[in-house]
Amino acid sequence: MADSPTGRCCLCGNTYVNYGNNAQPLDNGRCCDMCNMTKVIPARMSMPIDHQPHRIINPNRNDS
């Protein structure tokens, strides 16, 4: 019971319980659930995703 893993969110500094979430692409560390939902996931959405080649992420870009 006393060994529940905790850590400090690398984005907001709050303590999270369990293992937190991968904070990439914003940070290499771990973040709390709140930051994951409000910061990390939106950041991922706005990044180009390599493994969805037939999906147009941002039609305003002219990379190809």
Enumerate binding residues for Zn ion (CB under 5 A): 9, 11-12, 31-32, 35
As beta bridge partners, residue 31 has 21
Which CB atom, from 17 or from 57, has the smaller least distance to Zn ion? 17
Tell me which amino acid residue 58 is.
Answer: N
Q: How far is the CB of 9 from Zn ion (least distance, A)?
A: 3
Q: How far apart (Å, rounded) are the C-alpha atoms in residues 41 and 57?
A: 15
Q: How far is the CB of 1 from Zn ion (least distance, A)?
A: 24
Q: How far apart (Å, rounded) are the C-alpha atoms in residues 8 and 44?
A: 21
Q: How far is the CB of 3 from Zn ion (least distance, A)?
A: 22
